[in-house]
Amino acid sequence: MKVKVYMEWKNLIKTGGVVTAYHNRIKACRYAGIEVVEKDFDILQIEFPGVGSYFLSKKAMRKGKKVIFATHITAEDFRDTFAFGGKLFPHLKRYLKKVYSTSSALISPSEYTRRVIKGYGIDRKIYVLSNGIDPDFLSGAKKKKRSEKFIIGCVGFVTKRKGVLTFANLARKFPDCIFRWVGDVRKKILFDIGDLEKIPNLHFTGYVEDVRKEYQNFDVFLFPSYEENQGIVLLEAGAYGLPLIVRDIPAYEGWLIHGENCLKCSTERDFEEAVRIILEDEDLRRKLGRNSRKLAERNSLKIIGRELRKIYEEVLNSSM
């Protein structure tokens, strides 16, 4: 079996979950013994629904090749990420329906995303498969000795969708803790953090080359995002055995379990209470951390690769 994994604009899009998912797809293929090629492929796996990808997909389908799109991008998560996302939402939804419909099948990173994509009216088989986490990331995840200050961390683009205002409000509520947000700050197209930078215990690092050096210093991972398709950073945080505090959103149904591997919050008061509980209850911190690590291990690309191979074999042997 030969697969071409294609990521349009990969030289322009340097950071973010889509990029990580692209690299993880290639690694998952290799762990499963699937040959990754540039030409003479059996399956074209497309990771980003650009215009070029649309025409590439149509060309491959005309030649009788199987094409699978990953549905990392939805109109819903685009809407509150960019300053102009709301205006483009209905147009992007129509565009994604057109692009994703050129495929033989689709792969969504969560059951929630599958439902969203299905709601666009796309008549294609949609598989659900985690983006996974690199086994090398898992094996290299070592915690540093705890600092005097309790560090509450987050990783992701600085946007309203990711919950940066909730994160900032919690920093004000817990001045004895350090709140550290790691990720791109793009004021013109994402979010202006000018006022938030005045909060003394809240730090924005901007993009960092090696995020592992940040995870190893965190005591808890607080991810207050309003909209996700999976949230690869949660698996990365889990690799470090970090207790997770998240917003209770549909993408986490079935794999993030409140009180077992995370604390789920619906309101600002919930988040405040969750942070307070985490600070006070060391036994709970350890329990959540142990289980978040197990969650990450269950999503190793060695396991995901085997499931990916089954999907590819089914698509190849079908009339899709």
Q: Packing angle between helix 51-62 and helix 85-100, nearest 10 degrees?
A: 10
In whole angstroms, give the CA distance from residue 164 to residue 181: 9
Tokens at 266, concatenated: 């619906």
Shared domain for 162 and 284, answered yes or no, is yes
Q: Which domain does 192 fall in, by range?
A: 140-298
Shared domain for 283 and 187, answered yes or no, is yes
Helix (H, G, I), strand (E, B) or coil at 133: strand
Q: How many CA atoms lie within 13 A of 39 on its CB side?
A: 0
Residue 249 CB partners (closer than 8 Å, separation 6+): 112, 225, 226, 227, 228
Shared domain for 224 and 286, answered yes or no, is yes
Shared domain for 236 and 269, answered yes or no, is yes
Shared domain for 184 and 221, answered yes or no, is yes
Shared domain for 223 and 79, answered yes or no, is no
In whole angstroms, give the CA distance from residue 233 to residue 162: 12
Shared domain for 117 and 148, answered yes or no, is no
Q: Strands 244-247, 263-265: parallel, antiparallel or unpaired by DSSP?
A: parallel
Q: How many distinct structural domains can be found in the chain?
A: 2
Shared domain for 102 and 156, answered yes or no, is no
Give the chain's length: 320
pTM of the predicted structure, to 2 decimals: 0.92
> Residue 283 belongs to a domain with what CATH number?
3.40.50.2000
Q: Please, what's the largest Cα pairwise distance for the chain?
A: 62
Shared domain for 144 and 230, answered yes or no, is yes
In whole angstroms, give the CA distance from residue 252 to residue 229: 9
Shared domain for 170 and 265, answered yes or no, is yes
Shared domain for 25 and 51, answered yes or no, is yes
Tens digit of pLDDT at every position of the chain (320 positions): 999 999 997 766 666 788 999 999 999 999 999 999 999 999 999 999 999 999 999 999 999 999 999 999 898 876 665 555 556 777 888 999 999 999 999 999 999 999 999 999 999 999 999 999 999 999 988 877 666 789 999 999 998 889 999 999 999 999 999 999 999 887 656 677 888 989 999 999 999 989 999 999 999 999 999 999 999 999 999 999 999 999 999 999 999 999 999 999 999 999 999 999 999 999 999 999 999 999 999 999 999 999 999 999 999 998 76
Torsions phi, psi of 246, nearest 5?
-135, 165
Shared domain for 12 and 74, answered yes or no, is yes
